[in-house]
Structure 1
Amino acid sequence: MNERIVYSAYALGWAALKHLPERAAKGLFDQIADAAWRKRGKRVLQLEANLLRVRPDADEARLRELSRAGMRSYLRYWMESFRLPVWSRERIARSMAVEGLEHLTGAMESGRGAVIALPHMGNWDLAGAWVASHVGYPFTTVAERLEPERLFERFVAYRESLGMEVLPLTGGDVSVVGTLARRLRAGKLVCLVGDRDLSEAGVEVTFFGEATRMPAGPAALCLRTGAALLPVTLWYDGPVMRARIHPEVLPPAGGDGRGAAGRAADGQEGDGRGADRKAQTAAMVQSMADVWAGGIREHPEDWHMLQRLWLADLPVREQPGAPAPAPVAAPGTEPAAEPAGS
């Protein structure tokens, strides 16, 4: 019954909201955001706890102001996502303003391929649709498989209609890592959301002065294939979403001093330098986290992190190997099939 309710709610969004006038849709979703914010449920309280890490000097009034803006930004993501399937190429172009595009085009034109790595900021679906339709780079991403299954399938079909190849994180017939590596070696583009570790096997980093884990996937893939690792930050500016493609995160020199790109170029990427590769991956993930922290600090209201992120907030297992506690969020409260970075 719960799965049917969740699916019906999303289906209603796709069927009805994309036909509403823009102003009416925005007003409706602002009202939903404000109602959730006033209720002060677990997600809103967690958002405020996260925002306090970003703005530790914020008093209670400022924190509440930021969390209200954050909920409106988060619901704007959903409003736009429900309407994206009927947006024209021109409408998508009008909605985006991008800095640093030369970092992406340079990597792609060189034939290296690239990994765009994003935090949960702005609207990553809109950014992906813009890359595919305006720049002309179809890309591959990974989606977390959530229930119900037919909702996951609908999200996959929706994202594929925007120009994305979507690989399920689990339960698929192909190796996710192997497929992504093949795409990058062919000079293609991969896009991954990577500021929250879903596997509990991520790399520990320092983020806003505290320890957390982030997926190793984006950095590890670039080390394995020689592709460019490009962190991106997104934020809303009135009716436009702005994106900044930051310069490539380079691996620290290690082993033979040529880095991953040089080893991949002459076919030596699997030469057994396990410790070197692990240290390089950790350094690159930390560099990504630092870039994202700068963007989030500038636009905290557009960081949609409504889950526990820092290790200090996560439950501690009583015994090694004990099952993890159930997540705080109720089923259906997170974006179904959101791009995953692990």
Structure 2
Amino acid sequence: MDLTGLVWAVGRRLPRRVGDALARVAAPLVSLGRLPAVDAWAETVERATGRRPTKGQRRRLLENWFRNALWSLSLAGWSDADVLRVARISAADEGKLKESLAGPGLVLALPHMGSWDLAGAWCARVGIKVVSVAERLPNGVYERFSKARAGMGMTIHPVDRPDLMRTLAEDVAAHRLVCLLADRDLSARGVRVPWPGADARIGVPAGPALLARRTGADLRVATTHFDGEHLRLQVSEPLTGSTAEELMTGAVAVFADAVRRHPESWLMLRRVFV
């Protein structure tokens, strides 16, 4: 078994409380070293919020990163009760999801915050069918990734799938929730929009906006952040705009507000501003 396979095999069997304990122990130790990825996160957060992260926030960022990674490996084995116990969402925000899904359909734009995998697993437990997209990573990683998320109740399409937009439009029409990470553009075909409160722009994918316009679905933003042993989920009102750039400008405004409130849950370990 290769190293990737070993990590996957061990991680998927790790009980949640054990993984959380490991994250709490590892984060202070790892934070003692100089990590370029964490330095990049700190620079990005300072640019986004106007405040330099403290040592405590750097430690919590690492704890949250470890936690998210371990949860992603093990979530397929969580009980329904454990998912529902850890995830927290208000009745109003849950209602927003169900209102859009019962009506015009729903596309959710998400930042790399908190645990988007747990958010998807929670949706599956309350009867919402979730669809998302992932890079086709090498060495069997994509296949493991897709199979694990199927175990959580989610369907994952590879980003290079032919006619992906048509497939996602069919998912919207079938009242499935299409969730797309949208705070980093991997295609170089996205749009550059302003980050509120900063003299900077960020490149984001246009896909969520284009899919919503193509299908007539609502476009909302969902953000998640760690809160003690829980994960808090929040859902925006439908975004408005006549162009992809206007819609994604609205999405980034919601991202920016969430990052200001919970910078240590923004797991963006790179520079993103242009």
TM-score in terms of structure 1 length = 0.75
Note the alpha carbon deviations across 1:40-73, whole angstroms, 9 max, x for none: 2211111111121233233xxx532222111111
Equivalent AA in structure 2 for residue 162 of structure 1: M
Which residue number corresponds to residue 111 of structure 2? 119
The counterpart of 1:196, out of the listed 164, 184, 190, is 184
Q: Is the 8 A contact 2:88 2:232 kept in 1?
A: yes
Listed as ranges, the matches of 1:1-342 within 5 Å are: 4-15=2-13, 17-18=14-15, 22=17, 24-58=18-52, 62-99=53-90, 100-110=93-103, 112-134=104-126, 136-148=127-139, 150-170=140-160, 172=161, 174-208=162-196, 209=198, 210-252=200-242, 280-311=243-274
Note the alpha carbon deviations across 1:136-178, whole angstroms, 9 max, x for none: 1112110111122x222111000011111110112x4x42111
Distance 1:25 1:132 in 2: 22
Equivalent AA in structure 2 for residue 118 of structure 1: L
Q: Is the 8 A contact 2:57 2:264 kept in 1?
A: yes
Report how many residues are paired. 270
Ranges in structure 2 where 5+ consecutive residues have no aligned partner: none
Ranges in structure 1 where 5+ consecutive residues have no aligned partner: 253-279, 312-342
Equivalent AA in structure 2 for residue 132 of structure 1: A
Distance 1:293 1:12 in 2: 36
Deviation at 1:241, TM superposition (A): 0.7
TM-score in terms of structure 2 length = 0.93
Equivalent AA in structure 1 for residue 266 of structure 2: W
Q: CA RMSD in A?
A: 1.7
Q: SS of the residue aligned with 1:247?
A: coil
Stretch moving more, 154-163 or 37-46: 37-46
Q: Is the 8 A contact 1:48 1:64 kept in 2?
A: no
Following TM superposition, the consecutive aligned residue runs of length 4 or more in structure 1 with deviations greater than 6 angstroms are none
Q: Identical aligned pairs, as a percentage?
A: 32
Distance 1:221 1:241 in 2: 28
Deviation at 1:8, TM superposition (A): 2.5
Q: SS of the residue aligned with 1:39?
A: coil
Distance 1:28 1:6 in 2: 19
Alpha-carbon spacing, 1:57–1:308, altered in 2? closer, same or farther (3 Å): closer
Distance 2:71 2:122 in 1: 13
Equivalent AA in structure 2 for residue 166 of structure 1: I
